[in-house]
Structure 1
Amino acid sequence: MILLTALYFGGAAITIWFLRTPADVTLFWPAAGLAYAMVLLFGLRYAFAIAMAQALLHLLLVPAPPVFVGFSICSNALATVVACLYVRSRRKTLQLRTDDGLLLLRGALLLCVISAGIGSTGMLVAKMIPSSDVPRVYLQWALGDLLGISALTPSVLLLITRKQLRKLHSGVNRVRLREYLSWVVIMGVGLLVIIPIAYQGGLYPLAGVIVPVVLLLWSAIRFPPLFTALATSVATFTLAMILGLGIDGFRRPETLADTSMLMATLVVISTIPILLAASFYERHVVMAALHVRATRDPLTGLLNRDAFEEQARLVLASHNGDVSLLYIDLDNFKLINDAASHAAGDEMLRHVARLVKAEFGDDAWLAHSGGDEFTVLCKQTAAAATVPGRRLLAAIENMRVAWQGSNLRTTASIGIVTCTAPQASFDELLSQVDAACHEAKELGGNRLLVAGLNEERLDTRNRMMQSALNVREALDQRQFALWCQPVVDLRAAGDGRAHFEILLRWRDAQDHLHPPASLIAAAERFRLGPRLDRYVLSALLNWLEAHPQTLPLIRQCNLNLGAATLADDEFGDYFATRLQRSNLLPEQLCLEITETSVVRDLGRTRHFIQRMREMGCRFALDDFGTGFCSFSYLRDLQVDYLKIDGSFVRDVDQSPLSEAIVRSITEIAHLLGMRAVAEQVENDAQLACLRDLRVDFAQGYLFQRPLPIEEFFARPGSTFAFDAST
């Protein structure tokens, strides 16, 4: 309050130079601008300082009739309060933008109208002016206040809020010191040039004012708004003193018209640069916000994926030392989203982002790559980067996030790859570190793995990922072909109809056929199994529908399904709908599922088997004996066949253990009303042993190698009655 009183008093005291008689009205009232800004910033109660300073001014410096003193105090304090109330009613928080600048200008006009009305009325009541001078006094009073506000209010507002402005919008304008110095020198020379022009007695001395005006526009475009506001205040004050007081050869305005034109000109000079600066600043802020939105992740504040990759490529292209790339993936993060909500997951990600910042700081590039993944690029060796990496693992494991009465926790897996000059490409590094991270996750998670220390496992994973890409390509290009291998009844001769299993072959880009074992494994690992099984089912039924003459020749067709397919409810719907449209009877179809897929999700498997059996399909449990080999769940599974894995069949005639396993599986199958099927039968000795063990069916090279489905149904004689003894 004391400071505002002193500042207002000082600003008002300066204007005494403009007065020639007590009845004069000052051409420039900077105290109005100071009071307007301070009351806006600190509250209406500070209007009391205006009244105190105005009373001291009349008491000490500008004596006036007692009647007028009350009007004078009221004109300044009351007008400021009303103007501030108007501004605050429309904007609670002022920002540096054009709309707020125009709002301040409207408030300033309201202040000037009220202040001039009260002040001119007071001078008339105190008989300081005749009634004929009221319009002149009113106009000069209003313009003096307006000039003071336009010259000082922006500077005071920006000067007091400069820290917040710098904090919110740092880096909007960055200008070199040389340009600042050049501007100051030119402005000083421009103001000094006006004086000799005036002394020359030229007709157009005011033409020199154009130099400060141009420089203020330059400042508005190039420099920060605070600099522009302060420069405008200084330039306006200087011009007001020189022109208004008639200093150094300038003629002081005598008539009302001259005074009004001069003050209006100064108001325009002091207003336009500020509005222009606000406009440019607002545009810069919007551009900066768009840049942040384009480069920053809104959830964590870290770089987003695109911005990180751009920075990483620049670093790899310019840095000659060691560079390490870390890939951080949270373990089982989906459980948090599913169990606690995605909002809880977002809160967890924010906490993890803070931990990543705390460990790697400002010396590294940090990014939230998407989902539950983070990436870090630092100029360190793998050994050096491993230290904060392991600390980060421990910090994430110990972190607890409070959420709705419970504590959420998680762990992470981290992969690290390091390269030295000449640097590898970013894409290559990202592939290596991603493989290392996923390898760490598959080893149980909550661990850190450095690429290059376990090359064999990482190479295997890379080959698996390449196989997954090949699966997608083969599905898109329909490069899989259907082959068939017969399943032979060892109990009796065939009835002329085919019992066979559908097998796949992959045709590569060079039109070579390959067994797709690696591709099928990759499809299961990378969740492409349901799509692959849909393709096989659709291709089989389409072929049979295109060759209806083959349908009577089919006794049973075996079709393999993967583990992920059994858990896919949409596949069950698709399967039922597609089979209903087909000419193939459900009784002619046997679905083969593996023992490991059954154990993975026994509940879903039971539901799937029950649904398909209600349609009439049969089931076979494939590769039996290689999984958990728990006979307890067999009682609950409604399967028709147990297919004994070929690893036991190949040694059945030589290994007592294999023989015992085959015998046990066969006896269990018969006890449960199932049939035993031996796979990979290759010679007569194996066949004889299987018949002695009472195995029901067999398939393998001994009977027939797999054939394309077209050749399988086009064999000479068109008979499928295989003799098990040949």
Structure 2
Amino acid sequence: MDIIQRHLRMALDAARMAIWDSHLTDGTVISSVVHWVGWGTGLLGLPPGDLAQPFAQFLQFVYHEDRDRLLNTMQEAVDCGSGYDVQYRVVWRDGSHHWLAAKAHVFYDDGGQPTGTLGIVWDITERKRIEQSAAREREQAAVTLRSIGEGVITTDEHGKTQYLNRIAEQLTGWGNDEAHGLDIATTLPLIDDDGAPLAEHAALQCLRLRQTINMPSQNQLVTREGRRIAVEESAAPIWSDTGELLGAVVVFRDVSHERKLSKQLSWNASHDMLTGLINRREFEAQIAHALHSAKQEDHVHALLYMDLDQFKIVNDTCGHSAGDLLLQLLAKMLQTEMRDSDILARLGGDELGVLLPHCPPDQALLVADGIRQSVKNFRFVWDSRTFELGVSIGVVEINRHSKSMTELLIAADQACYLAKERGRNRVHMYQESDLRLARRQGEMQWVSRLNEAFEHQYFRLYAQPIVGLGPRGEVHDEVLIRIQSDLGELILPGAFIPAAERYDMMAAIDRWVIRAVCRHVRSVREGKGAADAGTEADADGARQPAPAPAPYSGQYSINLSGTSLGDEGLHDYIIEQFAEHNVDPGKICFEITETAVIANLVKAQDFMTRLKALGCRFALDDFGSGLSSFAYLKALPVDFLKIDGVFIRDIANNAVNRAMVKAINEVGHVMGICTVAEYVEDDETLAVVRELGVDYAQGYAVGQLRPLHTG
């Protein structure tokens, strides 16, 4: 018997269990005595050894919140004659808490009176810790899912709904308990933007492919009540620790506001806010589409450009509110008189455009005259005043011979301009001869505007970096001229240089630029122009943060026209400006186009040689555009070759352009001349230019325009 008891005790010790043995004297547990044997006392934090302990004393080890429950459970077992299975906490003398579990049976004497209990007790602290940790994690996950701002639905491996969080319940209309076990396509029914059910639900696709699925952003959820909500959803697989696919989790959110806002922004981008008509940007896209169909399918369309003749009177006498209302009413009136396929747009303040698809010229003239008559018959009343309007309309045919969308708009604008010039309130059909006439008239207007620019100081200088592609990355600037009108807009040189060249104003412009650059150099030296380096500007003058500057050489490139090469007094004028503003000639580089040099070769050689002696440098601009570029290059004291942008723009995709640039670069280097690639507009082009060994790059890929302070 001793051997059996010894083996039993060894087994209990190995299992970290102890005998729970108590003796009852009057049938009450509180007056019983508990017997601990051997290791059992360790469960109370006491040294090992046999111990007889009154139950009331044992209760002092029990955590105070568990004492009544433990005593009542054990007493009820004694009273009922059943065993008990109980868990409770004990507090050791060091203050630590431990969980114990106990199972016991009740024994009785021959008279049926309870005499004691016998069972086992063991420590379950670690198990409880794990259970509580898991419970906390489950609760935290549940709280997170309940509070997350997106709908979350989980499924089993067959696509049956297992759980919906609070947001999912609100969006779908299904309660968590109601949806449990339903197909995910029932709980979360999705349709596309056209209202058709999806070919395969995101969750089912995820389970089939066993990978995360992100669905297109145009889907809609059909709620339990039948409402449609724009949603974005994704589904991801749920894996067990052993790699078994347990199901999928679908996350979705209401994007109704974002989608509505996106549609509104898209509408705003293509429409005029005042009239609701499409704007110039969208109208140009429609013209481009019509031009494509004309070229590809030999269709014929017509473009109308309209300018209201008396609109300014309404604005000036009644205010802009009246002008706005007038445009709104006119837009509505004109829309009612057009075919469904005709496209009416607002192009500017009082300028409208009409695209007439599949409309031959004769029919277009009839339509245009009908519009003209409708506008003439229209009466606008404001504060008891009545206004009669007129409209000048230019008409252009769009056919397979039309060149580009831009040229079509220019032609229509010119035809409209001629309609105004010939008496207003009339229709003019564009002819090829109109282009030369309108261009000459436009140039005449520019003469007065250029004189005004000189008188009122409307000229502005901007600088574009020319960045070295070598290790030093040295930077110098090309100076570019603009005109800032009295309305604040920046006018590019392409608009006024042709007129300046035709009417011999280029020499005066060149002198203005030379003097302004010299003033800028002085202002930088005196610390007044430092702010210029902190911002950049687009071509329209919008300022923006500049990138971190590369090492700056302080050198400026000034463009000189062919006219200036024949200016006998320009050399002396340049020397005077250098002296007056204390400018180092070595900081100035003059850019001359290849065609200008060819036209004035002898004078160009003399001019360049004299200024080179002072330390000035020279760049040959647009190199490669002429037919005899290499033949006369040896005769010119050139420091830089600026490779014509026509070879640079498509160099990444055009083998011929690449070969031309490579040849120009190699010849330049053999002659000791640095090369500059113009119009380097993107990283791909920059990479090719760098690979070919070109010395410098100029264009938006390496730096944008910034305004120059000219003192």
TM-score (structure 2 length as normaliser): 0.35
Q: Counting strand residues as a fraction of each chain, which structure ranks higher?
A: 2
Larger RCO: 1 or 2 (CA < 8 Å, sep 6+): 1
TM-score (structure 1 length as normaliser): 0.35
